[in-house]
Structure 1
Amino acid sequence: MTDTHHVRDALIRTLPLYEMMRMRAATTARRHPTLGFASPDRDSTLRWVNQFTHTHRKLGPDDREVVSPNNDTVYSNAWLDLSQGPVVIDTPDMGDRYWTLGLLDAWTNPFAYVGRRTTGNRRQRTLVHGPAGPGPMPAGGVSQVIAAPGDDVWLIGRTLVDDRPADLEAVRALQAEFRMSRPDGSDAALRFDTALDGRVVDAPSASLYLSTVEAALRRNPPAADESLAWPLAPDAVAALLPQVFDELRQQDQPHDLGGGWALPVAVRTHWGQDVLTRARVARNLIGALGIEEAMYPTAEVDADGRTLDGSHAYELRFAPDAGPHVGAFWSLTMYRRSDCLFVANPIGRYSIGDRTPGLRREADGSLAIRVQATDPGPGHNWLPAPPAEAFYVVLRLYQPAAEHLSFQYRYPPLRRLG
């Protein structure tokens, strides 16, 4: 198979598989709390799967590993290997707190959820199985059964947390109760050879790409309606792969929402035939959950289409009763455009939203947010911007209401002041 068009198509179709396997290598743990290191060799690619890892604090401007991170939740992370049988996930009673465990298949489809929106906040037990089936149920039964389309699943968890030390400790205690086991009650953890250095984000060699994708395909076959020509000739892959990787990094295909806002990701549970967007998101925004769980409208320009810049002051004004409509909460988060990271500022505020202490509304009920580098003074809701530098903002909507999901909501633009 040497036709350039067909090779390019096959690379675009399979790139999500490669990127998911790279992320598995980058985010799985070397050490298990009781079983020790997967390998004593620091350069080994052996890692533990079927094991939770957690962050215990919200990210700040000194954290540089994740671009466009949220400033609302702490994260839980796990990679499931279902090739040896089902995995049982136990989660505690979460009170009335927002939380979600989003499950992505190896093709980056966000196919299932456990959490506040879908299964509630009660103590629950979830059995996840692969194509081989669920097998015998654990003693005492389960709350729900999730069928994964392949043997590899990325589980990304988010739990809402306040900045108060007591709340951080409360969430840490909840995370400690997240457990994975086999139906017989034994620990589900497995050693797994990721065969990759997950820190390398540039285009791999043709041989590494092909071997990684072929291994992933054996465990995660394409959907019945996915037309995939495979295998590819190594020389054809070597000629096109760097170009495809670079093109996908540069491409921008957001869903225009009006008012200078755009939605980078508009998937629900499956990408379907939109394989180009699937590849672009895998290259740039991998791990995105479906919009029914969370939407992230993004603004890089003001009401007149000019690039947002900290040399100027802006106002974002929501009319009375016309603020974001959500089932959980919303926040507006600031990022420096040059590196997509938080901006250090005098008040240590990286986002503002409906949970921000002291948020003020106008007499008529409208909500105005000042977005600027200098303090606008008392009486204003202030989201600090970087001085004299381009920036963008993300309006994070958790459990967005129907008018957001149907793209009927009218997003107000950021208007330059003065």
Structure 2
Amino acid sequence: MQVSTRSISLRTLILASSIAVFPVSSFAQSPAVPEISKEIPKGPISGTTLPKAYVRDMARIAYLWGWPMVNMHNRQMVFSKVPENGLGDGILPVGPIGRVTMLTDYIKPEERGVATPNQDVVYGFGIFALEKEPIVFQVPDFGDRFWVYQLGNQRTDTIGGMGKLYGSKPGFYMIVGPEWKGDVPSGISGVFRSPTNLAYIIPRAFLDDTKEDRAAIQPLISQIMTYPLSEFDGKMKTKDWSKIPVLADPAGGKAGAGGETQWVKPELFFEELPLILKEVPPQPGEEALYAWFGSLLEAASKNPEVAATLKETAIETEKELMKQIHSYSYAGVPVGNDWVAPMNGAEFGTDYFSRAAAAKANIFVNPRRESAYFGQEYDSQKKRLNGEHAYTVTFPKGQLPPVDGFWSLTLYDAEHFFAPNEINRFSLGTKNKDLVYGEDGSLTIYVQHGKPAGDKAANWLPAPKGDFELFIRAYSPKAEIMDNSWSPPPVLKAK
């Protein structure tokens, strides 16, 4: 059958007319496009049967993620048993919760409570439980002396800067917990809020390696104190830190031997992780991660096989992954001549690997703007540093670490602690007033086991017989360090 052209045209006109007269208002009544939900999606379903491979892989992630926070939790538990300010084993500054304890000189080489210590400053340490009460801390007038107070939370992130580089003034300051809503008393110059109730303070005050400066610093450190807000009266309190008692090491550590005190016991980790999930609020975006770990812990509470796998995996992960990242090679990024530098110390955010690597190798790192660090385990030929050989580190004229504070080159044994030597020297740098410079203005440091002859002895950094590491600190680094245009010189094996 044929259809005429006229019929098609007529039908087209009728259709066009019907469309043209369709009410415009009808389009406004069509369904609205729904908004994308911003609610957190539902987490894992309770009661799901979990295969062992899944439990094992998730446990590894949870162990890496939670290791620094379990570490801090256990330090707080240990300090909660300390009855008064004192020196653990005559070495480590320890005190009750809420009370800082100060040393009066460089930390002793036998210290094993914190890996990678330095001998450039007078240290202090205090740990807080802010759910009980805010803490007041005092700042004396340090004059021209370089100083910095490290303020950190349970994640080992900074909660604010205090020190010479910040232009901080003498006076009284306060640290409060995440939920505190009280009034700030008159006389408090500044308030720092911690996102976790566990917080800590580590005062550092630079000390020249001279008898005169050791005497000059004592009146200053006597004013470094912390105490609950209820004890604040607006008057500067003092304490003679040279007269505090010697206490047993509350952590049961072994001074002068081996590695760091074992603050994280892998066989207990997954028994402690539920406490961490309650103590440490999730960062934005971590809610799903918390639900994921929570589902693993719930399964373990109902299934002994899951619980056994968690424990087994924690022990394996400590022996494998955590042992490996104890190396400085993983605590940062390469910056030239095989030196490695952390870029986000104490500001890790969601960089869980870097947080764990720092916690294992050097837990109380400062933010980089306060102190830049450079770690080294190899010579220029990429051979492991070892006391069987002699090495030199030469800073050309004008190429010392560029700082507004101070710098040092420190030697550690393979466990990141000071290596005993005949002259009791563990670092060289700004604190030393007798360094010998070359005729061209360069500074060469001699790193070797045996004492060098002549003037070289003044620049000698004694090495142990076995493997060792080198570590540069640059406090209040200048722009050349911050923008990575400066890097340390190579470590050359002597011919």
**TM-score of the aligned structures, taking structure 1 as reference length:** 0.85
Q: Which amino acid aligns with 1:215?
A: L
1:31 aligns with 2:83: yes
Write 1 or 2 for the structure with the bigger share of helix: 2
- Taking a change above 3 Å as real, the CA distance of residues 335 and 279 of structure 1, as seen in their structure-2 partners, is closer
Q: Which amino acid aligns with 1:394?
A: F
8 Å contact 2:413–2:468 — kept in the other structure?
yes
- C-alpha separation between the residues in 2 aligned to 1:64 and 1:80? 21
Name the counterpart of 2:60: 8
CA offset at residue 213 of structure 1?
3.1
- Taking a change above 3 Å as real, the CA distance of residues 323 and 162 of structure 1, as seen in their structure-2 partners, is closer
- C-alpha separation between the residues in 1 aligned to 2:142 and 2:394? 34
CA offset at residue 174 of structure 1?
2.1
Counterpart pick for 1:100 among 133, 136, 148: 148
1:379 aligns with 2:455: yes
Name the counterpart of 1:90: 138
1:248 aligns with 2:322: yes
CA offset at residue 385 of structure 1?
2.6
Unaligned runs of 5+ in 2: 1-47, 87-94, 234-249, 254-260, 301-306
- C-alpha separation between the residues in 1 aligned to 2:83 and 2:62? 36
8 Å contact 2:149–2:162 — kept in the other structure?
yes
- C-alpha separation between the residues in 2 aligned to 1:57 and 1:372? 26
Q: Which amino acid aligns with 1:358?
A: D
Q: Deviations over 1:309-357 (max 9, x none)?
A: 22322221112212110110101112233x4332333333221113312
User: How do residues 35-184 of structure 1 correspond to structure 2 at under 5 angstroms?
Assistant: 48-120=96-168, 122-140=169-187, 142-184=188-230
- Taking a change above 3 Å as real, the CA distance of residues 215 and 343 of structure 1, as seen in their structure-2 partners, is closer
CA offset at residue 373 of structure 1?
2.5
Counterpart pick for 2:71 among 19, 22, 25: 19
- C-alpha separation between the residues in 1 aligned to 2:430 and 2:82? 38
- C-alpha separation between the residues in 1 aligned to 2:371 and 2:364? 12
1:392 aligns with 2:469: yes
Name the counterpart of 1:39: none
Name the counterpart of 1:336: 413
- C-alpha separation between the residues in 2 aligned to 1:259 and 1:216? 39
- Taking a change above 3 Å as real, the CA distance of residues 270 and 383 of structure 1, as seen in their structure-2 partners, is same
Name the counterpart of 1:204: 265
- C-alpha separation between the residues in 2 aligned to 1:83 and 1:387? 46
Write 1 or 2 for the structure with the bigger share of strand: 1
CA offset at residue 108 of structure 1?
1.5
CA offset at residue 27 of structure 1?
4.8
8 Å contact 2:207–2:431 — kept in the other structure?
no
8 Å contact 2:173–2:189 — kept in the other structure?
yes
Name the counterpart of 1:190: none
Q: Deviations over 1:162-221 (max 9, x none)?
A: 33344334433322212334445459xxxxxxxx96756276366x43453333333321
- C-alpha separation between the residues in 2 aligned to 1:55 and 1:359? 26
- C-alpha separation between the residues in 1 aligned to 2:340 and 2:111? 26
1:230 aligns with 2:293: yes
Name the counterpart of 2:395: 318
SS of the equivalent of 1:326 reads coil
Name the counterpart of 1:221: 281
Unaligned runs of 5+ in 1: 37-46, 188-195
Larger radius of gyration: 2
Q: Which amino acid aligns with 1:408?
A: S
8 Å contact 1:385–1:391 — kept in the other structure?
no
Q: Which amino acid aligns with 2:428?
A: I
- State which drifts further: 149-158 or 249-258: 249-258
Name the counterpart of 1:261: 339
Q: Which amino acid aligns with 2:375?
A: T
- C-alpha separation between the residues in 2 aligned to 1:134 and 1:94? 32
Name the counterpart of 2:423: 347
- C-alpha separation between the residues in 1 aligned to 2:411 and 2:251? 31
SS of the equivalent of 1:243 reads helix
Name the counterpart of 2:354: 277
Name the counterpart of 2:40: none
- C-alpha separation between the residues in 1 aligned to 2:470 and 2:112? 18
- C-alpha separation between the residues in 1 aligned to 2:133 and 2:115? 34
Q: Which amino acid aligns with 2:324?
A: Q
8 Å contact 1:302–1:415 — kept in the other structure?
yes
SS of the equivalent of 2:392 reads strand
- Taking a change above 3 Å as real, the CA distance of residues 203 and 51 of structure 1, as seen in their structure-2 partners, is closer
1:370 aligns with 2:446: yes
Name the counterpart of 1:40: none
SS of the equivalent of 2:340 reads strand
- C-alpha separation between the residues in 2 aligned to 1:310 and 1:287? 28
- State which drifts further: 352-361 or 1-10: 1-10
- C-alpha separation between the residues in 2 aligned to 1:8 and 1:152? 25
Q: Which amino acid aligns with 2:382?
A: G
Name the counterpart of 1:42: none
**TM-score of the aligned structures, taking structure 2 as reference length:** 0.72
- C-alpha separation between the residues in 2 aligned to 1:314 and 1:412? 12
- C-alpha separation between the residues in 1 aligned to 2:449 and 2:317? 38
Q: Aligned-pair RMSD on alpha carbons? A: 2.7
Q: Which amino acid aligns with 2:479?
A: A
